[in-house]
């Protein structure tokens, strides 16, 4: 195995800006399906089950691709892998834009899901070519612009689909991705591979993909699992077998997909625990708040329309986009662990406040803004901490697993929310009792607060 040190080259603001514009374009393409799902269901004659499949196709692919892309970026260079990955995403966007039916649109969404892998590749590049302090800010900026792109896509998807057609809502951000990928290619220097002669661990890759796929499918089927215990048992057994097989393979591989010694570092495993717990708590609130807005004003809800709900959630989306740059600057000044702890504390306090204060629209709007900002700062600081706690040759692998943990945490939180709201519907009614929402906010606050127990572990053996 040969190891090549990163060259003493620094990238300019233009190169970082190109990465940011690419992140914005990718975020926009990622988010166009959710707000236009009813329109897609109507135009393509899709049932609820088909609509649900369309809504999670990209999520599943992203969870599978991110760790693979990060690992390949560590081995063969972040730019080399990113350009090829975004070529796949561009093809997926064009396929989605031209799709005449559901199967073709699903194919496009599966290909688009590769965009999730671009984030760890961006982190590899900025860490290779920027000093530690500047790289922390750059990671925060790129993360924030990806979220900002998601907000932009959510806002423009409906008007474009209704004013032009559903085809253009995929085509426009795809064209932006093609242009910004070319900018990255021109402005970003080629980073050398750290393990250019290492073989790809195909058995480890296949088993890790199986683990993530089983998890994501299990979470997507969670509402039905309670009435089908045999299915739950089969999924648990399959997951245990895959995990055991993956650990066995990785321990014996000369060039493992994921170095298990890396995962054993306190700074790394604690980052994944914090990410999972915080994302579950935030996901619970993300699901509950819109439901409260939509409930009839005759009870304890507000009877808000879809347009009204979008406007109420907009400040929170803006706060989430700002969280990345804020986290980058804060971690540079105060250190990652302090920023993570502050983000968890503020998020927990806000979730607890919503237990008692949710009778006015402004209570929920302000709560959503604070949660989005605090949790966004927290998770970005975790990514920064993870990226700077490992050797440069492991940056992509370590940060990609944070992103995968984030996806799984959000998916788990959404399914938990749906489960206890359904359980909270009184007999003879189709509306959950207010106590179900209170329980949800309590659970979210408790789970988030528990992550504080491992914050100190993030600093063990690592210097800021």
Looking at residue 371, its pLDDT comes to: 92
Rounded to an integer, the average pLDDT of 16-37 is 83
152 vs 462: CA distance, rounded Å: 37
Rounded to an integer, the average pLDDT of 311-326 is 82
pLDDT tens digits, one per residue of 429-462: 777 888 888 888 999 999 999 999 888 887 765 5
Read off the pLDDT band of 226 (50, 70, 90): low
Q: Is 390 helix (H, G, I), strand (E, B) or coil?
A: coil
Picking from 158, 119, 159, the residue whose alpha carbon sits closest to that of residue 27 is 119
pLDDT tens digits, one per residue of 111-152: 888 888 888 888 878 777 777 677 777 877 887 788 778 778
Percent of all residues in the chain with a pLDDT value above 90, rounded to a whole number: 14
Looking at residue 288, its pLDDT comes to: 82
Say whether pLDDT at 395 is over 50. yes
- Indicate the pTM of the whole model: 0.77
Alpha helices in 298-394 (DSSP H): 306-334, 336-356, 361-388
pLDDT tens digits, one per residue of 274-311: 999 998 888 888 778 877 887 776 777 788 776 677 67
Task: Burial-class residue 392 by CB neighbours within 10 Å (0-12, 13-18, 19+).
Answer: middle
The residue to which tokens 């369309």 are assigned: 54
Looking at residue 91, its pLDDT comes to: 93
Contact 118, 145 (CB under 8 A): no
Rounded to an integer, the average pLDDT of 315-319 is 84
Which residues have C-beta within 8 Å of that of residue 142, sequence separation ≥ 6?
16, 19, 20, 23, 119, 122, 123, 126, 324
pLDDT tens digits, one per residue of 41-79: 778 887 655 666 676 677 777 777 877 887 777 777 778
Read off the pLDDT band of 10 (50, 70, 90): low
What CATH code is assigned to 259-459? Answer: 1.20.1250.20
| Backbone Cα Rg of the chain | 21
Say whether pLDDT at 109 is over 50. yes
Architecture of the structural domain at 13-187:
Up-down Bundle (1.20)
Percent of all residues in the chain with a pLDDT value above 70, rounded to a whole number: 87
Say whether pLDDT at 349 is over 90. yes
Which residues have C-beta within 8 Å of that of residue 309, sequence separation ≥ 6?
290, 293, 294
193 vs 392: CA distance, rounded Å: 11
The residue to which tokens 């965009």 are assigned: 115
Phi and psi based region of residue 253 (left: phi greater than 0; alpha: psi -120 to 50; beta: remaining): beta
Read off the pLDDT band of 359 (50, 70, 90): confident
Work out the mean pLDDT of the chain and round it to a whole number. Answer: 80
Domain ranges of the chain: 13-187, 201-254, 259-459
Which residues have C-beta within 8 Å of that of residue 302, sequence separation ≥ 6?
292, 293, 294, 295, 361
């Amino acid at each position: 195995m040969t190891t090549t040190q990163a060259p003493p080259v620094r990238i300019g603001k233009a190169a970082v800006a190109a990465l940011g514009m690419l992140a914005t374009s990718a975020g926009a393409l990622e988010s166009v399906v959710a707000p236009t799902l009813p329109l897609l269901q109507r135009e393509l004659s899709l049932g609820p089950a088909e609509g649900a499949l369309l809504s999670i196709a990209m999520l599943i692919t992203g969870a599978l691709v991110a760790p693979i892309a990060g690992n390949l970026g560590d081995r063969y260079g972040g730019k080399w892998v990113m350009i090829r990955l975004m070529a796949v995403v561009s093809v997926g966007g064009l396929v989605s834009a031209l799709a005449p039916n559901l199967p073709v649109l699903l194919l496009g969404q599966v290909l688009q899901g590769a965009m999730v892998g671009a984030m760890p590749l961006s982190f590899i590049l900025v860490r290779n070519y920027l000093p530690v302090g500047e790289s922390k800010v750059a990671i925060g900026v790129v993360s924030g612009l990806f979220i900002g792109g998601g907000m932009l896509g959510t806002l423009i998807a409906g008007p474009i689909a209704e004013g032009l057609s559903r085809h253009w809502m995929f085509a426009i951000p795809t064209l932006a991705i093609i242009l910004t990928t070319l900018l990255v290619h021109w402005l970003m220097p080629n980073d050398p591979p750290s393990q250019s002669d290492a073989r790809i661990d195909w058995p480890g890759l296949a088993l890790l993909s199986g683990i993530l796929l089983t998890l994501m499918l299990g979470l997507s089927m969670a509402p039905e699992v309670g009435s089908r215990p045999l299915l739950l048992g089969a999924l648990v057994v399959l997951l245990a077998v895959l995990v055991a097989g993956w650990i066995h393979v990785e321990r014996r591989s000369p060039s493992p997909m994921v170095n298990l010694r890396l995962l054993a570092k306190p700074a790394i495993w604690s980052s994944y625990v914090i990410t999972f717990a915080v994302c579950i708590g935030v996901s619970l609130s993300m699901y509950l708040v819109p439901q409260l807005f939509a409930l009839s004003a005759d009870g304890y809800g507000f009877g808000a329309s879809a347009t009204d709900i979008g406007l109420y959630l907009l400040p929170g989306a803006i706060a989430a986009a700002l969280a990345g740059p804020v986290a980058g600057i804060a971690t540079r000044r105060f250190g990652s662990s302090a920023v993570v702890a502050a983000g968890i504390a503020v998020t927990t306090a806000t979730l607890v406040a919503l237990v008692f204060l949710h009778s006015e629209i402004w209570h929920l709007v302000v709560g959503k803004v604070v949660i989005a900002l605090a949790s966004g700062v927290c998770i970005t600081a975790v990514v920064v901490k993870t990226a700077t706690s490992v050797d440069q040759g492991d940056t992509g692998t370590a940060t990609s697993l944070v992103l995968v943990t984030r996806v799984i945490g959000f998916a788990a939180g959404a399914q938990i929310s749906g489960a206890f709201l359904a359980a909270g519907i009184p007999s003879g009614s189709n509306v959950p009792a207010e106590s179900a929402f209170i329980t949800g906010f309590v659970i979210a606050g408790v789970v988030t607060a528990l992550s504080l127990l491992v914050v100190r572990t993030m600093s063990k053996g690592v210097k800021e």
